[in-house]
Amino acid sequence: MKTLDRYIAREVILGSLIAVLVLLALLNFFTFADELGDMGEGDYGLRQIFAYIALTSPRSFYELLPSAALVGSLVTLGGLANNRELMAMQAAGASRIRLIRAVLAGGLVLLAISVAVGELVAPPAERSAQTLKAMAQKKQVASRTKYGFWVRDGNVFINIREIQEQEKLGDINIYELDPKKGLVFASHANRAIYDGRQWRLKRIRISRFGPNQVTSERKEFTEWSSVLAPDLLNAFVIRPENLSALELARYIDYLRENEQQSLSVEQAFWGHLVNPVVTLVMLLVAVPFVLTVRREVGMGQRIVVGVVIGLGFYLFDRMFNHFGLIYEMNPIFATTFPTVLVLTGALVALARIRRG
């Protein structure tokens, strides 16, 4: 029986991975077509587009895996049913519960893959993709370190410690060098706001370094003409969807300590925990369809059923999450309710099969 369990689990894993790769290829095709509209802006060319797509693929893989598990398992298990293999297994003494357990064993492998990609690969790759695109389009050298965000504008080096929004900055240091790389100007501003044309610095301390002396002054505000693009900063704004669960947990603590709103971040955190479990739920949804639908149903019909259910769940989940933010629902409830609802339906269907 262990051989039988491994066979079913392997088929479910293989079918799900093939399905997710097909869906990923389709999604990347549409992404490529969309990115062609930005080609030619700055240094953003075909090479950068392909690199951008490659870096965003892990996150797409992570988000598509639950739906792909549903489609792949429907096709795979449906093929076994059409070939009378499931019937032969049950005739040999394999109960329906054992078949379900074998399917879930394959699901646990998919769950492990989902966690690994979603926590270790997707977040840094997604951040790199956003940075690559912004830097290529704006032709500016930028990086993010533990000392904040750095950008170079000719001989001017800008260090930004706080990015609230792409048009609102805090704790800014500006250093200007001469052609011989000597420091000629340094300033610090508490705040910077972009008005649509240029930056406006507030509460500035300015130091000028001459050959024999250093002069300093303070200003309450001043205009700052810089090619620093707000769109470039947009790549460095913290987005909950680009963080791992561990990073989200730390970010929640930071927001709470500073008495800031953390609902969207908490919702993203619980979403990270729930999403891998959705893969198992989708496999449970597939089993009743395979065991109750007549064997003459073709592969195309099963794919349509899987896509409709998977897409319907995805849209309902996203819609309910947005409602959770609008009506300030408990983040645990907002992220788990769609999954629990579908899981309940799957368990009811499995219970009826068992009684039958």
**Given this model, what pLDDT does residue 61 score?**
96
In a domain, 315, yes or no: yes
- Return the higher-pLDDT residue of 251 and 126: 126
Write out the residue range of the structural domain in which residue 200 sits: 141-228
In a domain, 233, yes or no: no
In a domain, 234, yes or no: no
In a domain, 55, yes or no: yes
Strands 168-177 and 183-194 come out as antiparallel
In a domain, 320, yes or no: yes
**Given this model, what pLDDT does residue 235 score?**
59
Judgement on whether residues 347 and 282 belong to the same structural domain of the protein: yes
In a domain, 33, yes or no: yes
Whole-angstrom distance, CA of residue 73 vs CA of residue 17 = 10
Judgement on whether residues 244 and 305 belong to the same structural domain of the protein: yes
Judgement on whether residues 130 and 146 belong to the same structural domain of the protein: no
Judgement on whether residues 247 and 113 belong to the same structural domain of the protein: yes
Judgement on whether residues 163 and 246 belong to the same structural domain of the protein: no
**Given this model, what pLDDT does residue 120 score?**
93
Among 73-87, 198-212, 305-319, 341-355, which is the least confidently predicted range? 73-87
Paired with 144 in beta bridges are 149
pLDDT at 20 over 80: yes
Domain count, the chain: 2
The mean of the pLDDT values for the chain is 84
Share of the chain above pLDDT 90, in %: 35
CA nearest 239: which of 250, 248, 229, 228?
A: 248
Judgement on whether residues 320 and 337 belong to the same structural domain of the protein: yes
**Given this model, what pLDDT does residue 146 score?**
60
In a domain, 235, yes or no: no
**Given this model, what pLDDT does residue 74 score?**
87
Judgement on whether residues 117 and 245 belong to the same structural domain of the protein: yes
Judgement on whether residues 32 and 129 belong to the same structural domain of the protein: yes
Range 41-52 average pLDDT: 91
| Residue 106's pLDDT band (cuts 50, 70, 90) | very high
Judgement on whether residues 133 and 65 belong to the same structural domain of the protein: yes
**Residue where a domain terminates, one of 189, 207, 228:** 228
- Return the higher-pLDDT residue of 227 and 328: 328
Range 167-192 average pLDDT: 85
Range 111-140 average pLDDT: 87
Judgement on whether residues 170 and 64 belong to the same structural domain of the protein: no
pLDDT in tens, 213-250: 888 888 888 887 765 666 666 656 667 878 889 888 98
Judgement on whether residues 244 and 118 belong to the same structural domain of the protein: yes
**Residue where a domain terminates, one of 178, 203, 228:** 228
Strands across the sheet containing 214-224: 141-145, 148-153, 156-165, 168-177, 183-194, 199-209, 214-224
**Given this model, what pLDDT does residue 47 score?**
94
DSSP string of 55-110, one letter each residue:
HHHHHHHHHHHHHHHHHHHHHHHHHHHHTTHHHHHHHTT--HHHHHHHHHHHHHHH
Cα R_g (the chain), whole angstroms: 27
pLDDT at 109 over 90: yes
- Return the higher-pLDDT residue of 202 and 231: 202
pLDDT at 148 over 90: no
**Given this model, what pLDDT does residue 251 score?**
81
Judgement on whether residues 222 and 260 belong to the same structural domain of the protein: no
pLDDT at 184 over 90: no
**Residue where a domain terminates, one of 168, 200, 228:** 228
In a domain, 217, yes or no: yes
